[in-house]
Amino acid sequence: MSQTQIRFSGSGGQGLILSARILAAALAARGKFVAQSQAYEPTSRGGLSRSDLVVSDREVDYPLVTSLDCVVILDQVAVAASEGLLRPDTVTITDAARVSAPPGEPRRVLALPITGKARGIGNIRVANIVALGALAELAGIIDPDSLRETMLDLVPPRFRDLNAEAFDAGREMAATLENA
Amino acid sequence: MSNPTNIQGNAAAAAGAIAAGCRFYAGYPITPSSEIAEQMAARLPKAGGTFIQMEDELGSMAATVGASLGGVKAMTATSGPGFSLKQENLGYAAMTETPCVIVNVMRGGPSTGLPTRPAQADIMQARWGTHGDHPIIVLAPHTVREIYEETIRAFNLAEALRTPVVVLYDETIGHLVETVTLKEPEEIITRKWAEGPREDYLPYAAGADMIPAFPRPGDGYRTHTTGLTHDERGFPTQDPEKVAAFMERLLGKLETHRDLIEKNELVETDGADVLIVAIGTPARAAKSAIRELRDEGIRAGLFRPVTLWPFPEEALKAAAKGKRAVLVPEMNAGQMILEVERVLAGEAPVTGLNVFNGEPITPAQIAAAVKELAK
């Protein structure tokens, strides 16, 4: 049985749970079974926040992650929580500015200027969507165009253009990296 | 029937309740069950029902029982500390044979314990939390889909058997979001209403099915409702013959309807060397572990009570027949294992795997324990 495990993590308020919800919705709409769990600290900003997806072609047995295929880390505070779940081939995407000490052991860590790009677009709060775009391009779990469609359905209409720009910027950033 | 959609376990409980015909919810929000109150507050009025946030859990349980006595399908939801406060009126529901559904989303305890962490330490409380010999049904769903289905079944059983029914699951499943297709209920049961001449009506007289007909408010049937031990007229009695007859019917009615109540899932139990008995998140970890172990040539199977109480004695005995060992993983210091040991006394060695640090049991922990037993 093929199963994929994905984590979005960072600090509270970065919108990581929304990123996970968008990806989960897109996967469910395409016939996958998804189990999404989350953990956060009792503060509205700051503290470790993460949301995990277990994706399968059938009903998921164990709904929590045990070994990650992909992980997005947008803040240093979230690094330790994933250390024990990483494999050498885990696609590990970190924010270049906010993760100064990425997970150890020899593995390919893709440090991308995610929050920097979001700030450049005009709103640091879309960093979660920049990250989603980058993940879509790098992880090979879903067609990025169809994920983009679901994303635009789920964000408030007045923020559609901003989020579209953020998603495309994330994809482009990742594509450049892949070609390098 | 809905398209596949991602919904949270607690939202599935609310959806199941409304699909089953629940039209009254009284609650006092508490983590990790609060989303049930939140969902019911938003959805019940649109379904023609009533939502009320009471002053505390004592009041919310009382209001739930009162609404049901008024003829409406009623529910409340809570977690450990609130479940403790609901016990007195839960006993009143059992004694007065008032149908109602109580969802308990288990967090770490005792006392306020670990509000956002999963546990299964209310297994015995769900059975024996209120005082006195009393009938109660406890259902233990292990997926979001099953929370929806079992909440519907909880209402059906409550109505059919005039008893409180507890839906019991751990925080991990309550807060889990899963892809689910919500199917319309195949069957919706509503309590048997009193019929026939009003002057002959006895509110607590029952036929062979042991279930008295319920007086629908407004139909003019005279009734009396009390937590004191009562006769067929509903009035208090201490006559030993009447008391014994009442208690035998009260406790016997679930035994009589065991076929309707009992539900178990068996996974690869035929030919297994080790039998795992689990509910909730540990049962899901067990399913995952069973697959991994099979690849290594170790044969394990799962017996999962979907109806936890009354405990599935005969079915468990049958599933455990010829097994070398039985493993009971639970997120508590050892509760369900006491029942498993009682039922399997002398037939198979029973070992517990107990995790009570606020973390869910993992497939790796179960696989390691099974390997040890399979040696």
Half-sphere exposure for A112 (CA within 13 Å, toward CB): 33
For chain B, which residues make up each domain, given as ranges? Answer: 5-180, 198-259, 263-374
The model's confidence at residue B346, banded by pLDDT at 50, 70 and 90, is confident
Task: Find the closest chain A residue to B366 by CA distance.
Answer: A62
Say yes or no: A32 contacts chain B, CB-CB below 8 A.
yes
Question: What is the pLDDT, as a whole number, of residue A171?
Answer: 97
The model's confidence at residue B251, banded by pLDDT at 50, 70 and 90, is very high
Question: What is the pLDDT, as a whole number, of residue B102?
Answer: 98
For chain A, which residues make up each domain, given as ranges? Answer: 3-179
Which string of b and e fits B311-329 if b means at least 16 CB within 10 Å? bbeebbeebbeebebbbbb
Question: What is the pLDDT, as a whole number, of residue B302?
Answer: 98
Question: What is the pLDDT, as a whole number, of residue B375?
Answer: 87
Angle at B361 between CA B358 and CA B366, to 5 degrees: 155
Q: What is the mean pLDDT of residues B304-327?
A: 97
Query: How does the average pLDDT of chain B come out, rounded?
Result: 97
Residue A180 has pLDDT above 90, yes or no: no
The model's confidence at residue A179, banded by pLDDT at 50, 70 and 90, is low
Q: Which of A1, A21, A63 sits opposite B178 (nearest CB)?
A: A63
Answer whether A34 sits within 8 Å of B6, measured CB to CB: yes
Task: State how beta strands B325-330 and B274-277 pair.
Answer: parallel
CB under 8 Å to A80, separation ≥6 — which residues? none
Answer whether B143 sits within 8 Å of A38, measured CB to CB: no
Residue A33 has pLDDT above 70, yes or no: yes
Question: What is the pLDDT, as a whole number, of residue B1?
Answer: 57
The model's confidence at residue B28, banded by pLDDT at 50, 70 and 90, is very high
The model's confidence at residue A106, banded by pLDDT at 50, 70 and 90, is low
Question: What is the pLDDT, as a whole number, of residue A173?
Answer: 94
Q: Return d(Cα A1, Cα A57) in angstroms, integer.
A: 8
Question: What is the pLDDT, as a whole number, of residue A2?
Answer: 80
Residue A43 has pLDDT above 70, yes or no: no
Q: Which of A28, A63, A66 sits opposite B6 (nearest CB)?
A: A28
What CATH number should be reported for the domain whose range is A3-179? 3.40.920.10
Task: For A121-150, write each residue's pLDDT tens digit.
Answer: 999 999 999 999 999 999 999 999 999 999
Question: What is the pLDDT, as a whole number, of residue B90?
Answer: 98
Task: For B278-306, write each residue's pLDDT tens digit.
Answer: 999 999 999 999 999 999 999 999 999 99
Q: What is the mean pLDDT of residues B122-146?
A: 98
Residue A41 has pLDDT above 80, yes or no: no
Residue B3 has pLDDT above 90, yes or no: no
B177 Cα to chain A: minimum distance (Å): 5
Q: What is the mean pLDDT of residues B149-164?
A: 98
Answer whether A59 sits within 8 Å of B145, measured CB to CB: yes
Whether this model's ipTM surpasses 0.90 comes out as: yes
Task: Find the closest chain B residue to A59 by CA distance.
Answer: B179
Say yes or no: B177 contacts chain A, CB-CB below 8 A.
yes
Q: Which of A29, A36, A62 sits opposite B177 (nearest CB)?
A: A36
CA distance readout (Å), B255 to A24, B162, B166, B308: 43, 14, 17, 14
A 37-66 near B (Cβ less than 8 A): 37-39, 42, 59-64, 66
Residue B151 has pLDDT above 90, yes or no: yes
Query: How does the average pLDDT of chain A come out, rounded?
Result: 92
Q: Which of A21, A25, A66 sits opposite B362 (nearest CB)?
A: A66
Task: For A72-84, write each residue's pLDDT tens digit.
Answer: 999 999 999 999 9
Q: What is the mean pLDDT of residues A63-74?
A: 96
Tokens of B344: 């399997």
Task: For B200-226, write each residue's pLDDT tens digit.
Answer: 999 999 999 999 999 999 999 999 999
Q: Return d(Cα B165, Cα B76) in angstroms, integer.
A: 11
Task: Find the closest chain B residue to A32 by CA distance.
Answer: B179
Say yes or no: A3 contacts chain B, CB-CB below 8 A.
no
B178, B144, B180: which is closest to A35 by C-alpha?
B178
Task: For B55-98, write each residue's pLDDT tens digit.
Answer: 999 999 999 999 999 999 999 999 999 999 999 999 999 999 99
CA B244 from centroid of its chain's CA atoms: 27
Question: What is the pLDDT, as a whole number, of residue A13?
Answer: 87
CB contacts < 8 A (A, B) = 64
Say yes or no: A34 contacts chain B, CB-CB below 8 A.
yes
CATH topology of domain B5-180: Rossmann fold (3.40.50)
The model's confidence at residue A105, banded by pLDDT at 50, 70 and 90, is low
CATH architecture of residue range(s) B263-374: 3-Layer(aba) Sandwich (3.40)
Task: Report long-range pairs for B42-49 (Cβ below 8 Å, ≥24 apart).
Answer: B43/B14, B43/B15, B43/B18, B44/B18, B47/B18, B47/B23, B48/B23, B49/B18, B49/B22, B49/B23, B49/B24, B49/B25
The model's confidence at residue A42, banded by pLDDT at 50, 70 and 90, is low
Q: Which of B6, B145, B285 sits opposite A62 (nearest CB)?
A: B285
B288 Cα to chain A: minimum distance (Å): 6
Residue B99 has pLDDT above 80, yes or no: yes
- With contacts defined as CB-CB under 8 Å, which chain A residues touch B173? 63
Say yes or no: B6 contacts chain A, CB-CB below 8 A.
yes
Question: What is the pLDDT, as a whole number, of residue B123?
Answer: 98
